[in-house]
Structure 1
Amino acid sequence: MNIETELLKQISRGDKIAFEELYALFSNKVYATALHYLQNIPDAEEVTQDVFLSIFNNAHTFKGNSSVSTWVYRIAVNTSLNFLKSRKKSSFLYLVDYKKEIPDFEHPGIIEENKENAKLMYLAINTLPDAQKTAFILGFIEEKPRQEIADIMEISLKAVESLLQRAKANLKIKLKSLNPKRRN
């Protein structure tokens, strides 16, 4: 049994120190994932808290069918997607096609000369269906191995490859429409 699995066992018994250790191992990764989805620092912080609350409350449900890392990422992805869905439902902005507006989000890890391109890329990513968006973020932004993406998304490796190809094709079309001067 690895250290992460042991930490989850201890967390399921209410061990707060084990929870702090697991938090230290995964908080930056969970936050980065949430930030890629939400493109809003306070929302990403809120989702990160929600993810770890869920981990604390559901540690006993971990069956060991995947790695702890995969399980944590699955919770982070699902919590981020659910947050987006609830934000869309609770906002009256659904009357406006907000996807056409360039978000004013500036990812803190992107250097200055790439920020405009990053804004356009995130705008385009936001138009992808959830499965394509998840595969793209995990595969090309977070650079996860394809098999880990399949495990996180609970789909086949072939399905991941298909989602990535469709996401790239859709992004290429969307980016071309957002920036006609852009070269392939």
Structure 2
Amino acid sequence: MKNNQDFLNHENFYLKLNSGDKSAHELLFKLYQNKLMCIAKSYISNKEDAEEIVQDVFIKIWNNKSNISIKNNLNGYLFTCTKNLCLDYLKKKKRKINREGRVLQLEAVVNYNALADEGYSELIEQELNIQIEKAIEQLPERCKLIFSKSRFEGMKYREISDELNISIKTVEHQIGKALKVMHLHLKDYLTAIVFFLLF
């Protein structure tokens, strides 16, 4: 480890890193993966998500290898990059929860009020299912497939990721995209029903 750390301080290492030398990038990964995982897990409880964020840090370095200059502050750059990606993840997760929450709140009000009239409840449920099907049909094929596997087949994000050979982040992005379309499509419909039931 000492030899590896000494090599990090050598001018040649940064020249190799900037030129796209895979051995330099692999050494960087070997030395910093666990350290960055500790940082990521301090922000994010889900281990798989934390691992993806750490991978994204090294992917970012690789993709920008010729443009970044981290010789004088390697630790600071890696730690700051990890922290920023964690904060971005948390912001996106919060927006996703808010979107899902708004839809669920509207559906809960409709379901609660409609219980007073079984016949009307069935009518609302049928119409709601129709509207949901229409919203799903608006989704791109890949997004529709991922959303259906999650919501209708009950598959977890990891299972979808493994079956379709895509990253968990891609699954999350497609689910978020689907929920946004669903929310926009159902918003006016559900709001109209709530208004009718309450007033």
TM-score tier after normalising by the smaller chain length = 0.3 to 0.5
**Which protein has the larger Cα radius of gyration, Structure 1 or Structure 2?**
2
Q: TM-score, normalised by structure 2?
A: 0.42
Q: TM-score, normalised by structure 1?
A: 0.45
